[in-house]
Chain A
Amino acid sequence: MSDIRLMKGNEALAEAAIRAGCQAYFGYPITPQSEILEYLADEGRKRGMIVLQAESEVASINMVYGGAGAGARVMTSSSSPGISLMQEGLSYIACAELPCLVVNVNRGGPGLGTIQPSQGDYFQATKGGGHGDYRLIVLAPASVQEMADFVFDAFDLADQYRNPVMILADGALGQMMEKVQFKEYDPKDHIPDKPWATVGKPATRPRNIITSLHIQPEKMEQINLRLQQKYATICEREVRCEKVSTDDAEYLVVAYGLAARIAHRAVELARAEGIRAGLLRPITLYPFPYVPIRSLAETVRGVLVVEMNSGQMVEDVRLAVEGRTPVQFYGRMGGIIPSPDEVMHALGGLVNQAVEQQVEE
């Protein structure tokens, strides 16, 4: 491990991208993630990265398409409105199976919204987002350390599955400073050969074509089946989550990213008051940890989902729980971060409901 550094989340992510061997960054400034572009425009260029400030997020994502198609390790980053502009391009990238990293430092919406942190883009990130049947692999960091660590994982997963990977953070994780250590990583050991890339056709092979166009429906169905098979493999192999105090938990809190840090504190407060609470933090939002949540739902007396939105991931939690135990939701919207006390209060509501239910029974 290298030295400990104190960095903003956005900067740590950018530094990790350089160390992960990212060859090109294409992006357009938008708050609260412009430090990524700024850091790379300075540090990245000095260390050989191509860094292009594009005319729009639309151009950025299509540059990512071109660069990934040319066989390079490439990325872009933006925040919510800019990510909306990229949805068409992401659909093309998913269909053409181009590995790349897209970072969304989520801010409050809808519309132009606010520049404060939010988790309002969960649906967009995890359910496809653009047109057609496709999925991104979505990683949700909860610390500056993970803003860095997940960049390496994201590029490796992208290459392994030839699939776009999104790091879904939020404005607070992007802006806050914490200590971070960069892991040892040699891109040469990780980046695979890309014989499908368009780099100029030698006489020894047929031409390579990067496309998402398959006009014959029978062909397009086959492409879709192959994608779905890939997504099934990803769901089987790549689910990641963190569990805190779940072994003896009577009440389970499910939260990701920044909300999980707050929920973690609320769980500690609850434990101090004798409530046996635990936390499950999804790290991969796609693939979603349905199975770990389902197995905990067998034993707990209730589940509380905490998000910085109107209740998006709670739908996946309910799909996981399938009625085994009550599921309640607590969230704040529009750039407001809930406090641990608020979460604790919501947890108290869940406990009361469970106790009342027991009395009735």
Chain B
Amino acid sequence: MANEVEMADIRGMDLVYERPHTLTEARLHYCPGCGHGVVHRVLMEVINELGIQGETIGVAPVGCSVFAYHYMDIDMQEAAHGRASAVATAIKRLLPTKYVFSYQGDGDLAAIGTAETIHTANRGENILVVFINNAIYGMTGGQMAPTTLLGMKTSTTPVGRTVDVAGYPLKIADLVAILPGTYYVARHAVHTPNAVRQLKKAVTKSFQHQKEGKGTCFIEVISNCPSGWKMTPLEANKWMEENMFPVFPLGDLKAAK
């Protein structure tokens, strides 16, 4: 293909940005504008830069990122819905010198898998939990998530989420931050280049903490869902800043000591 020839021709000083070899060449199935692809790339860039591709095992969730292992060129396990942190717990216990992370969405981590999430963090398992919060169930077609904002319309909250019917958006990162088992809990986003750089720093730090056996590192990434929110990617990012960030403010919830 012409495109591949052009890419192959870029050499030397002309090459300023490339796919880390820890990402496979599979084409992402994510919707245009979705944050998953960026988070995948950040994770794989860090694993590449730390030189730990051969020592890292990832656990994929059920949800939009169910095929994460198509893109990440590392050993991976596909967990049952909500159980990624339990699966990751066992891998890490049996292979304590390896790096282990789970990658989970809001339904997986904060609804069906809440017990596993809390108890993994409470045991202080030496893993990294990456939590993508876009406040909606993307894969199943836009139903309410535990993190759906009040007033937010989804296919199962057609007039907007109300407290009397569906309670409040669950701030699970705040919950795990108070547990002594967690060492580092932070909330990030990937809607601007600067935000991506901040996330990358957090992921790098988390793997370093894991190497030192500090405890559970938990990174929430506030992400958009243009398809589920029925917006263009630009509208979605703007809506996210204006509506998601006030409820889920970015920054360290528990700074590493």
Q: Residues on A close to B: CB < 8 A?
A: 23-24, 26, 50, 52, 54-56, 58-59, 62-67, 69-72, 74, 88-89, 92, 96, 198-203, 207-213
Contact of A202 (CB < 8 Å), options: B54, B76, B118: B54
Q: Contact check, A211 vs B77: say whether CB atoms are below 8 A apart.
A: yes
Among residues of A, the one whose C-beta sits closest to the C-beta of B88 is A66
**Known: A63-B90, A72-B94, A201-B73. Is A212-B78 also a contact (CB below 8 A)?**
yes
Q: Are A198 and B91 in contact, CB atoms less than 8 angstroms apart?
A: yes
In the complex, which residues of chain A have a beta carbon less than 8 angstroms from the beta carbon of B57? Answer: 70, 198-200
Given contacts A66-B87, A210-B76, 10 further A-B contacts (CB under 8 A): A52-B90, A54-B86, A58-B115, A62-B80, A62-B86, A63-B86, A64-B90, A198-B91, A199-B57, A213-B67
Contacts of B76 in A (CB 8 A): 198, 207-210
CB distance from A184 to the nearest CB of B (A): 26
B75 near A65: Cβ-Cβ < 8 Å: no
- A213 and B91: CB pair below 8 A? no
Instruction: Say yes or no: is B69 at the interface (Cβ < 8 Å to chain A).
Output: yes
Are B83 and A201 in contact, with the CB atoms below 8 A? no
| CB-based contact B115/A55 at 8 Å | yes
Q: List 6 A-B contacts (CB under 8 A).
A: A55-B118, A62-B83, A64-B90, A210-B77, A212-B78, A213-B66
Given contacts A55-B115, A67-B93, A201-B54, contact A213 B78 (CB under 8 A): yes
- Nearest Cβ on chain B to A337's Cβ, whole angstroms: 36
> Do residues A210 and B78 form an inter-chain contact, with CB atoms below 8 A?
yes
Q: Is residue B41 within 8 Å, beta carbon to beta carbon, of the partner chain?
A: no
* Bound CA span A72–B118, Å: 25
In the bound complex, residues from chain A placing their C-beta under 8 Å from that of B93 are: 24, 50, 52, 67
* Chain B residues whose CB sits within 8 angstroms of the CB of A71 once the complex forms: 94
Q: Does B89 contact A (CB under 8 A)?
A: yes
Given contacts A26-B90, A50-B93, A199-B95, whether A211 and B78 have CB atoms under 8 Å apart is yes
| Per-residue A-contact encoding for B48-60, CB less than 8 Å = 1, 0 else | 0000011111011
Q: How far, in Å, is A198 (CB) from chain B's closest CB?
A: 4
Residues on B with C-beta less than 8 A from A24 are 90, 93-94
Point out the residues of chain B lying under 8 angstroms from A72, CB to CB. Answer: 94
Contact B98 A200 (CB under 8 A): yes
Residues of B within 8 A of A199 (CB): 57, 75, 95, 98
Partner of B75, one of A52, A92, A201: A201
Contact pattern, B 74-108, Cβ under 8 Å of A = 1, otherwise 0: 11111110010011111101110010000000000
Q: Which residues of A contact B73 (CB under 8 A)?
A: 201, 207
Bound complex: CA A203 to CA B75 (Å): 11
Beyond A55-B115, A59-B119, A207-B74, whether A69 also contacts B83 by CB under 8 A is no
The yes or no answer to B241 lying at the interface (CB within 8 A) is: no
Contacts of A213 in B (CB 8 A): 66-67, 78
Is A209 touching B75 in the complex (CB atoms < 8 A)?
Answer: yes
Question: Residues of B contacting A201 with CB < 8 Å?
Answer: 53-54, 73-75
User: How distant is the Cα of A30 from the Cα of B54 in the complex, in angstroms?
Assistant: 39
For the complex, give the distance between the alpha carbons of A210 and B98 in Å. Answer: 17
Contact check: which of A55, A63, A89, A200 meets B54 at CB < 8 Å?
Answer: A200
Closest Cβ–Cβ distance, residue B75 to chain A (whole Å): 4
A84 to chain B, nearest CB (A): 15
Inter-chain CA distance A210–B84, complex, in Å, is 12
Q: In the complex, how many angstroms separate the beta carbon of A335 from the nearest chain B beta carbon?
A: 29
| Given known A200-B55, A209-B77, contact A70–B91 (CB-CB < 8 A) | yes
In contact, A66 and B55 (Cβ under 8 angstroms): no
**Which among A74, A88, A92 is the interface contact of B90 at CB below 8 angstroms?**
A74
For the complex of A and B, the 6 pairs showing the least CB-CB separation, nearest first, are A66-B90, A66-B87, A211-B78, A62-B83, A198-B75, A67-B90
